[in-house]
Structure 1
Amino acid sequence: MKKTERLHHMLRFINQKQHFTLHDLMQEFQISKRTALRDIASLEEMGAPIYVEYGRYGGYRLLQQMQLPPISFNTDELHALYFAMQALRSFTSLPFRTTFESVHKKFMAALSDRQQENIHNMQQRVAFKHTEQIKDSSYLELLLEAAVQQVVMQITYPYKNSEPISRIKTSLRVIQPIALYASKGYWYCQAYDLKKKAYRVFRCDRIMSAVLTDIEPVAHLADIHSEHLQSLWKPSEQAISFQCKISQAGMEQFKQNHYPSIRLKEQDGVKLLIGTYEPHELDFIVSYLAGYGTSIKIVEPEMLKESLRQYYLNLLESI
């Protein structure tokens, strides 16, 4: 990082902290003590009202908050932002109803002619391939608000995917959303089901109604990060265990698409795909396993093996 850029970031850093030490600057900006001292002197020359506090708990203090200059981005940062924005293109449903078009238009308008030319040239050399969003999700903003504020919600959720709309059976679920994520064209909400006392994942487009409640939230969920949720997953008492042998190609496919109830395991030198599914999820798990083709071989249960055979027979009859 160039000195001018570092000083710019340092101004924002000390303006936020108000009180700081040399160690804070050295750790935050990965600089030596000598460089930190020189940077403080440079900031004072720029007019930053910094004074020294001596003693055991001394350091530096900003006399008053400063009027900071507008945020500026270098070329690499602009390119990184542009790449990140491409993730919005394929989603018609986004929290806070933000659209790619409006964000993209404002971003491009803020660039200089030269920067716009660089972006245009990059578009000619880089292709962004996305999975298009398959169905709209009406309650993303509300779900995200509940996750951030740790609020309990009541949602209406169907039992199955496969039923015609006129025959869909629904249930009222009381959940505490923890995190949202998008995968393969769908939005998902990771949540804690207060009635079942279990962690569950809900597909957001299947939520038929959602309201915030005054129910007391579960306190410890505020400390759970989305990447830790898979380790908290627990099947119901009715869940059925399954086990499949899996090849190296299958293992690579698993890493691209898997669910909290499924994991890889090695036993006696044999690679296994193991997991559980709920009785009403049989069609789903069969469809999921069929996607592995010859990369897996079901070991147990026999019922799952027969269901997969029937799935393939139905495919052959439809050709």
Structure 2
Amino acid sequence: MKKTERLHHMLRFINQKQHFTLPELMQEFHISKRTALRDIASLEEMGAPIYVEYGRYGGYRLLQQMQLPPISFNTDELHALYFAMQALRSFSSLPFQTTFDSVHQKFMAALSDKQRDNIHNMQQRVIFKHTEQIKDSSHLELLLMAAVQQQVIQMTYSDNGPRIIQPIALYASKGYWYCQAYDLKKKAYRVFRCDRIITAFLTDIEPVKQVADLHAEHLHALWKPSEQAISFQCRINETGMELFRQNHFPSMHIEEQHGMQMLVGTYEPHELDFIVSYLAGYGTSIQIVAPDTLKESLRQHYLHLLSHITE
């Protein structure tokens, strides 16, 4: 990082912290003690009101909040932002109803002529292939804000009647939005497809504290099948494991058994069609070991496909 750019970031860092130490600067910006001292002197020359506090708990303190200069981006940062924005093109529904076109227009309008030319040249050299969003989801903003503010929602989900849930996180995968949530009536963690939520509104129900403290990355470990869930096992080869890494669910994982890699997991009785369709996507890279009912269901699935080919 160039010195001018580092000083710019350092101004924002100390303006936010107000009180900081030399080791904190060294660690944050990966610089030596000598460079950190020179940078502090440069900041003071720029008018930053910094003074030294001596003693055991000493360090540096900012006398008052500073008026920071506008954020500026270098060429590499602008390219990174442009790449990130391309992900928005996959979705017709987004939280807060932000559309790619409106963001893209504002972004391009803020660039210089040279920067716009660079972006245009990039468009001619890089191809973005997206999974287009399959169905709109009209309650994303409500779900996201409920997750952020730790609120409970009552919703109507498909044809299953009302559900009381506490949203935890949203994620997008293969053209659909999903909501990870805690079902207060069933006392279980569930994943809901957002486009299947028909109605949704906030309630005054007290959120579950241990759920509110969760982060999305912890949900996989908390997944618990119901008492009616059916276990399955499949042998899987290297090709299958690559497919698994691209698309899998909290109810399944890969483990080694007797020197062989196995895809193991559970599915609920009403999810039979879903799990058959999912496993069929692996083709010959898996072999179902158990249960026999799943083997037969997959066999019937293939026979049904063949009947359409031979007709």
Fold shared per TM-score above 0.5? yes
Amino acid corresponding to residue 78 of structure 1 in structure 2: L
| CA-CA distance at 1:286 after TM superposition | 0.4
Q: Following TM superposition, where does structure 1 have runs of at least 4 consecutive aligned residues deviating by more than 4 angstroms?
A: none
d(CA) in 1 for partners of 2:216 and 2:245?
17
Q: Deviations over 1:184-243 (max 9, x none)?
A: 000000111111111110000001111111111111223322122111100000101011
Q: Deviations over 1:249-307 (max 9, x none)?
A: 00100000000001111100011111000010000000000000111111111111111
Equivalent residues, number: 309
* Corresponding residue number in structure 1 for 2:161: 171
* Corresponding residue number in structure 2 for 1:42: 42
* Corresponding residue number in structure 1 for 2:273: 283
d(CA) in 2 for partners of 1:173 and 1:73?
46
Amino acid corresponding to residue 299 of structure 1 in structure 2: V
* Corresponding residue number in structure 2 for 1:3: 3
* Corresponding residue number in structure 2 for 1:251: 241
Structure 2 unpaired stretches of 5+: none
| CA-CA distance at 1:23 after TM superposition | 1.4
Q: How does 1:14-33 map to 2 (within 5 A)?
A: 14-33=14-33
Query: Are 1:312 and 2:270 matched, yes or no?
Result: no
Amino acid corresponding to residue 237 of structure 1 in structure 2: E
Query: Are 1:296 and 2:280 matched, yes or no?
Result: no
d(CA) in 2 for partners of 1:77 and 1:253?
32
d(CA) in 2 for partners of 1:224 and 1:217?
12
d(CA) in 2 for partners of 1:24 and 1:171?
54
* Corresponding residue number in structure 1 for 2:74: 74
SS at match of 1:272: strand
Amino acid corresponding to residue 278 of structure 1 in structure 2: E
d(CA) in 2 for partners of 1:76 and 1:228?
33
Q: Deviations over 1:113-138 (max 9, x none)?
A: 00000000011000000000000001
* Corresponding residue number in structure 1 for 2:85: 85
d(CA) in 2 for partners of 1:89 and 1:170?
32
Of 223-232 and 187-196, deviating more is 223-232
d(CA) in 2 for partners of 1:35 and 1:3?
10
* Corresponding residue number in structure 2 for 1:142: 142
d(CA) in 1 for partners of 2:68 and 2:251?
49
d(CA) in 1 for partners of 2:108 and 2:218?
37
* Corresponding residue number in structure 2 for 1:204: 194
Aligned-pair RMSD on alpha carbons?
0.8
d(CA) in 1 for partners of 2:87 and 2:199?
27
Q: TM-score, normalised by structure 2?
A: 0.98
* Corresponding residue number in structure 1 for 2:172: 182
SS at match of 2:178: strand
* Corresponding residue number in structure 2 for 1:63: 63
Of 149-158 and 84-93, deviating more is 149-158
d(CA) in 2 for partners of 1:94 and 1:182?
10
Q: TM-score, normalised by structure 1?
A: 0.96
| CA-CA distance at 1:78 after TM superposition | 0.4
Q: Deviations over 1:41-70 (max 9, x none)?
A: 000000001111111111111111111100
Picking from 214, 217, 222, the partner of 2:212 is 222
d(CA) in 1 for partners of 2:34 and 2:203?
55
d(CA) in 1 for partners of 2:44 and 2:212?
41
d(CA) in 2 for partners of 1:17 and 1:90?
38
Q: Deviations over 1:131-179 (max 9, x none)?
A: 0000000100000000000111111112xxxxxxxxxx32211111111
Structure 1 unpaired stretches of 5+: 159-168
Of 219-228 and 308-317, deviating more is 219-228
d(CA) in 1 for partners of 2:142 and 2:285?
40
In percent, how many aligned pairs have the same letter?
A: 82
| CA-CA distance at 1:24 after TM superposition | 1.4
SS at match of 1:241: strand
SS at match of 1:86: helix
